[in-house]
Structure 1
Amino acid sequence: MTLDLNSDLGEGFGAWTMGDDAAMLDIVTSANIACGFHAGDPSIMRRTCALAVEKGVRIGAHVGYRDLAGFGRRAIAMEPAQLRDEVLYQLGGLDAFARAAGDRVRYVKPHGALYHSAAAERKLADAVLAATVEFDPELTLLGPAGTHLERAAVDAGIRFVGEGFADRAYTPTGALAARGVSGAVLQPNEAVAQAVSIAMSGTVRTVDRSRQVPVSASSICVHGDSPAAVEMAGRIRAALDDVGVPVGPFC
């Protein structure tokens, strides 16, 4: 089975940069590009899309709550119709730059608090999927398997791809451990081992080390905002090659 390797990119703002997007785009096969709500701005969106197209990396819309100050990690209460419109707005904005670069948005991945809240609440998942269908029913949704996001995608007729995280620990329920929990963010050696475990057995060890839990994933995420992100992604890709897992985009 071919396994996708994705990363959250384009997450700077104005003169402020985050991560080495150009280097990450030499390693990953899919790029979740910020759409200006949790991070990114028009010039960064244009530049990141152009780099992705140049390097043959698939472009995904990394849609989130309108929360630049909180980097999209704060849940914002809103009516589903408003969330639908905000997601649709972000899709259209990023797709304009993707098309200017010679490609298009191929998939959607919620960011941060929206990722977690839409996975847990069906009405929010339905809002994300409503925007996706209105924009382009041929898009794919990338997200956590076995959640409301997957169920909403299936019901909406949208292809769903399950995602696992190399650099984040999981709870005994199979959810991501909150960033404030000790050990929630994995170090490079741990992340490499976890990526291989997801690829080979579809399981990860929990943050409290008490058990293995299933993670159904055809794509593995390496966050692009840590100092060791590029090294980590390169080591993960090499480790997947070593165990005979081919790496390639899911769409």
Structure 2
Amino acid sequence: MTTQLMSPMLLVSEQHLASRLDALAQVSGLDSALIAQFGDFIRTAPDEDLFRASPYRYAQRVGIGDRQAVDLFLYATHAGILEFNWGVLCPRCAAFITSPGGLRSLHTHAYCDLCQIDSDVVIDDNVEVAFTVAPSVRTIRFHSPSTINLKRDWRRLFFSTSQTMTPFVLRQIEQLLVADAFVPANAIYQFEHMCVAGQYLIALPQHHAQAALEVDPQHAEHTVHFDLLDGAVVPARQRVGPGPVIVRVHNRTDTLNVVGLIHRPLAVTLDPDAPES
């Protein structure tokens, strides 16, 4: 197998890509120029454009119809070029508020800890279907926690790009991540943070999972423990008092996890329709 080096951390398998583009052409009946253009996109697009990619955004990018782009992405998934994934979005801030899984696991309601709202789960409205390049075709940094820089990537991991955020909301989001760490498989990581009024989240962005850490002036506890399970952080909610707080995170999975501490101050609103102040 031959590979083409794209960057120090990124590889394209030309052999796999070429064979799967041939398979795409055979099963789809799509125009050869369209498939060649798609192949160039897979080879050269930035990592961000190949992670949770939208066929509608791709249609705008290359100037084709939405239906044609959807067909292209579905056939490309069948051919092994893309992988299909989905998530439930908060209708206010567009954060992913569920773990990936089968559609049969959907509940009728979902809660966003960032916005602190409960919303109905409606497949046509707030269930997002997206596509990521298959790692056997091209390696991108989002495929592995070890290559993620959470300070750079957390917004891409935590929020959907399908909704346009106002500059007001974007400025607030940039301030939310206050700490991050890699927690090795089956290991315990401990850190201390000076907690102030508001709410914090212990987040596993790549799993769309988080737990709430509420700062309550009436609460005396200053040490908390969270367990990282497959696609979940437990317990789902804990309370601490303001001041220095020791957070222990036990990764009970067999894989490395990247964990973020997100602060949602009481004064922050992620409502895109809120007036700027």
Provide the TM-score with structure 1 as the length reference: 0.27
Structure 1 or 2, whichever has the larger Rg, is: 2
Which one scores higher on RCO, CA 8 angstroms, separation ≥ 6? Answer: 1
Provide the TM-score with structure 2 as the length reference: 0.26
Task: Indicate the structure with greater helix content.
Answer: 1
Task: Indicate the structure with greater strand content.
Answer: 2
